[in-house]
Amino acid sequence: MQTIPIGKSFELILDTLSQCGSDILKLSDEMIGYYVLEECIIGATSFFNKFTLERLESAGIIDSEISEKTTSLQRKLMNLDNSDLWNVQSIKNNPKWKEIMDLSDEIKELIYRKWNDEEIVYLVAL
84 in any annotated domain: yes
The residue range of the domain holding 86 is: 6-119
41 in any annotated domain: yes
Q: What is the mean pLDDT of residues 58-62?
A: 98
Give the chain's domain count: 1
1 in any annotated domain: no
Output the pLDDT for position 33.
Answer: 96
Contact, 70 vs 53, CB < 8 A? yes
Output the pLDDT for position 102.
Answer: 98
Q: What Cα–Cα distance (Å) separates residue 77 from each residue in 81, 105, 112?
A: 6, 14, 22
Q: Model confidence at 108, in pLDDT bands (50, 70, 90)?
A: very high
Q: Model confidence at 123, in pLDDT bands (50, 70, 90)?
A: very high
**Each residue of 22-47: pLDDT tens digit?**
999 999 999 999 999 999 999 999 99
Global pTM exceeds 0.85: yes
DSSP secondary-structure letter at 49? S
